[in-house]
Structure 1
Amino acid sequence: MKYVDEYRDGRLAGHIAEKIRLEARPEQQYAFMEFCGGHTHAIFRYGIPDLLPDNVKMIHGPGCPVCVLPVPRIDAAIELAVVHKVILCSYGDMMRVPGSDRRSLLKAKADGADIRMVYSCADALGIAQDNPEREVVFFAIGFETTTPPTALVIRQARQQGVKNFSVFCNHVLTPSAISTILESPEVRDMGIVPLKGFIGPAHVSTVIGSQPYEYFAEEYQKPVVIAGFEPLDVLQAILMLIRQVNEGRAEVENEFVRAVTKDGNMKAKSLVADIFELRPEFEWRGLGLVPYSGLRIKKEYGFYDAENRFSLIASTGRDHKACECPSILRGVKTPKDCKLFGKGCTPENPVGSCMVSSEGACAAYYSYGRHQQALNNQKG
């Protein structure tokens, strides 16, 4: 295949779906977690659940970088703009995520804070160069995919001698989150989340490669299939996982061979290792404090670390009591289990982060029509 449309061929999708139905054993229950929010949206956008037999279920994971950032980190970003009067540069999705008392960056901007939406860290560096009299902070979020561009811009800022630019670093790591999920009581002890395997993230894997997932396959006996974001990619990955379960195998397989290699992008990984180091722990929404799951800027580049440049007050803010985002991100619940879903919480008026991001599970349910089914279930 050469063109994207070929990965959306309805005839081929039906053919793979028929193979899934034939190979899924009636006495077996198959529950697979798609870690990445991009996969969640592909699954609902293309109606993949309707193509699967009843004993093949998809569980939504925490692979939405906007969703997993906890309230205290959002509060800190708002503090940078409101209290320290910096020009805060943020990706668009992050602007609407509620912090404490449902205050978001967008609401702080409406109140007069200088908060600007950017498409990249490089945009933020450009704003710093255009405003030498102002401090400019880039609100950096994301998994391994967005980390190399941030590292590159930090290096450029130092090379160019830019003194009014820094980064509020919230980059997090996929493997650590997978370990936490597999070690959680819901998966390991209670069986509430009966995970049989994972669909591995696509974009992340182009950077880190397929090798890091081998630990999960071997240690936890959970198969992993790395897949692209097109419907045929996802269906083929599900079929590959079913075959592994049926054959008693637990291996890492790469469906996304057109973009992912075993070792990943060595140049990008080297750049990240030069600029960043592991934090001993980092808080995730839904997962709590996850050991060695976040990155911070090395001392060598510490001048560009906003947490060094500004004294930030530690926030104790928590999610809305009725919001089920933390449980949804762990795969314990689905959007239809939340009493606020589609009522008090909508994309226009989000209560939780899962309804904000284009990669959030609640936004996927709502955007592609399943919100009506969820609401009907709530009424029933």
Structure 2
Amino acid sequence: MKYLDEFSDPVLAERLFDDIRAHTTRPWAMMEVCGGQTHSIIRHGIDQLLPEGVELIHGPGCPVCVTPLEVIDKALEIASRPEVVFCSFGDMLRVPGSGRDLFRVKSDGADVRVVYSPLDALKIARENPDREVVFFGIGFETTAPPNAMTVYQAKKLGIRNFSLLVSHVRVPPAIDAIMTSPDCRVQAFLAAGHVCTVMGTREYPELAERHRVPIVVTGFEPLDILEGIRRTILQLECGEHRVENAYPRAVQADGSPAAQAMLADVFEVTDRAWRGIGMIPASGWRLSPKYREYDAEHRFSVTGIATQESTVCRSGEVLQGLIKPHECAAFGKTCTPRNPLGATMVSSEGACAAYYLYRRLELPQAAETSTGTAPTTREVTRR
């Protein structure tokens, strides 16, 4: 981006930190929903410079991480079939199923391909009419529209050897589930800006009012996140619970009507299980009856699959914000990016991967730099 450096300016960051400190009078706990925000927070050390008692809880906003184990096992079953070309984004290939992952299936001879767009998979289907081409469609509201468009195009063009294995999830029901959990400590949310770019903000006011929590739509660069935190603190300190848009350069209140229309045509809302969390009502999408013939789950009749989660991995507690990654005994030891026990260590948006990548390997005692002193704002924002 031409102006990306503007959103990492240490001078502006210091001003925002000063304003946050000036208005904070008590401890607060807020959740950043998106895994991309988590990585930015950990990479730049934002959480280390907040006032004492202000805690950022890492939420379940990593699409790879919350894809249910059952769906992963269904993907492995479909990909193993000789007539199938199984297409996926690269970050799904190392997500562990009950006993293996897509890389292992590929090494055993299956035709598993990394693509960069669902339309790439559709092109493969057109070029290979004698093969069944399946695209692994996962993600939040951000990635659902292009997947919906691809199914729409397949039907329009009469391409019958293409199908979609769907595991799309929706953010607002997840926020509702988090707030109704008996273990919830969350007092406010930093909502994911890219989700709201598609869906707008209309689903959030009712959640903010019912649960009496501020919800601030936030971007992903350091200054975006700090501005979101600043606005959240101001609301919390004043006892307010409103929806604010701190990402106006990308988010409009009504989102993208065209993308929403495509979603409404191709998908229908359904209950969805979230890995490590469980079933959340009305939290996902599946193909609507009009497009059901393109549903890989129905086409290949993958049912009756027994799943077995790791008994050591605590990624479910990480996804719910109940523990930080380095509070898991397996973290950085038996569970590493090279040998992951759970999806949160695999994904480029996973909290465990962020902590490992940016060397948050031990429980914090004091945030120090190599010189033994606390990091400065300039050091943090330029990491």
- Paired residue for 1:171? 168
- Paired residue for 1:215? 206
Could you give the per-residue CA deviations for residues 40-92 of structure 1, whole angstroms, max 9, x where no partner exists? 00101111012111111000000000000121110000000114641110111
- Paired residue for 2:321? 331
TM-fit CA distance, 1:254: 0.5
Alpha carbons of structure 1 residues 375 and 320: separation in structure 2 relative to 1, 3 Å: farther
TM-fit CA distance, 1:215: 1.4
- Alpha-carbon distance in structure 1 between the residues aligned to 2:366 and 2:128: 52
SS state at 1:370 partner: coil
- Alpha-carbon distance in structure 2 between the residues aligned to 1:186 and 1:85: 47
- Paired residue for 1:23? 23
TM-fit CA distance, 1:314: 2.7
Could you give the per-residue CA deviations for residues 102-151 of structure 1, whole angstroms, max 9, x where no partner exists? x1011111111111111111011011111111000001000000011011
Structure 1 gap segments, 5+ residues each: 188-193
Structure 1 contact 87–115 (Cα < 8 Å) conserved? yes
TM-score by structure 1 length? 0.94
Correspondence list, 1:145-156, <5 A: 145-156=142-153
Instruction: Please tell me the residue identity of whatever aligns with 1:128.
Output: A
Coordinate RMSD, CA, aligned? 1.7
SS state at 1:186 partner: coil
Structure 1 contact 81–115 (Cα < 8 Å) conserved? yes
- Alpha-carbon distance in structure 2 between the residues aligned to 1:153 and 1:216: 32
Instruction: Please tell me the residue identity of whatever aligns with 1:53.
Output: P
Instruction: Please tell me the residue identity of whatever aligns with 1:7.
Output: F
Correspondence list, 1:105-144, <5 A: 105-144=102-141
Instruction: Please tell me the residue identity of whatever aligns with 2:79.
Output: A
SS state at 2:252 partner: coil
- Alpha-carbon distance in structure 2 between the residues aligned to 1:284 and 1:108: 24
TM-fit CA distance, 1:374: 6.3
- Alpha-carbon distance in structure 2 between the residues aligned to 1:85 and 1:374: 51
TM-fit CA distance, 1:2: 7.5
2:235 counterpart of 1:237: no
Structure 2 contact 33–59 (Cα < 8 Å) conserved? yes
TM-fit CA distance, 1:163: 1.3
TM-fit CA distance, 1:259: 0.7
Q: 1:299 aligns with which of 279, 283, 289?
A: 289
- Alpha-carbon distance in structure 2 between the residues aligned to 1:292 and 1:319: 24
Q: 1:37 aligns with which of 35, 38, 51?
A: 35
Q: 2:197 aligns with which of 206, 217, 234?
A: 206
Instruction: Please tell me the residue identity of whatever aligns with 2:112.
Output: I
Alpha carbons of structure 1 residues 6 and 376: separation in structure 2 relative to 1, 3 Å: closer
TM-fit CA distance, 1:29: 1.3
Instruction: Please tell me the residue identity of whatever aligns with 1:21.
Output: R
Structure 2 contact 188–215 (Cα < 8 Å) conserved? yes
Alpha carbons of structure 1 residues 222 and 99: separation in structure 2 relative to 1, 3 Å: same
Instruction: Please tell me the residue identity of whatever aligns with 1:106.
Output: F
- Paired residue for 1:321? 311
Instruction: Please tell me the residue identity of whatever aligns with 1:72.
Output: E
Alpha carbons of structure 1 residues 375 and 97: separation in structure 2 relative to 1, 3 Å: farther
Structure 1 contact 223–241 (Cα < 8 Å) conserved? yes
- Paired residue for 2:89? 91
Could you give the per-residue CA deviations for residues 240-272 of structure 1, whole angstroms, max 9, x where no partner exists? 111001111000000001111111111100010
- Alpha-carbon distance in structure 2 between the residues aligned to 1:42 and 1:328: 17
Instruction: Please tell me the residue identity of whatever aligns with 1:355.
Output: M
- Alpha-carbon distance in structure 1 between the residues aligned to 2:181 and 2:306: 24
Q: 1:283 aligns with which of 263, 273, 280?
A: 273
- Paired residue for 1:272? 263
Structure 1 contact 76–314 (Cα < 8 Å) conserved? no
Structure 2 gap segments, 5+ residues each: 368-383
SS state at 2:93 partner: helix
- Alpha-carbon distance in structure 1 between the residues aligned to 2:241 and 2:200: 18
Hey, which bits of structure 1, 4+ residues long, moved more than 2 A? 313-316, 372-377
**Equivalent pairs, count:** 367
- Paired residue for 2:379? none
Instruction: Please tell me the residue identity of whatever aligns with 1:224.
Output: I
- Alpha-carbon distance in structure 1 between the residues aligned to 2:233 and 2:282: 32
- Paired residue for 1:162? 159
Instruction: Please tell me the residue identity of whatever aligns with 2:140.
Output: F
- Alpha-carbon distance in structure 1 between the residues aligned to 2:49 and 2:122: 46
Instruction: Please tell me the residue identity of whatever aligns with 1:64.
Output: C
- Alpha-carbon distance in structure 1 between the residues aligned to 2:33 and 2:208: 15
Instruction: Please tell me the residue identity of whatever aligns with 1:358.
Output: S
TM-fit CA distance, 1:318: 2.9
- Alpha-carbon distance in structure 2 between the residues aligned to 1:323 and 1:215: 35
- Alpha-carbon distance in structure 2 between the residues aligned to 1:170 and 1:283: 9
Instruction: Please tell me the residue identity of whatever aligns with 1:161.
Output: G
- Alpha-carbon distance in structure 2 between the residues aligned to 1:63 and 1:84: 34
- Return the structure number with greater helix share: 1
- Paired residue for 2:49? 51
Q: Percent identity?
A: 49
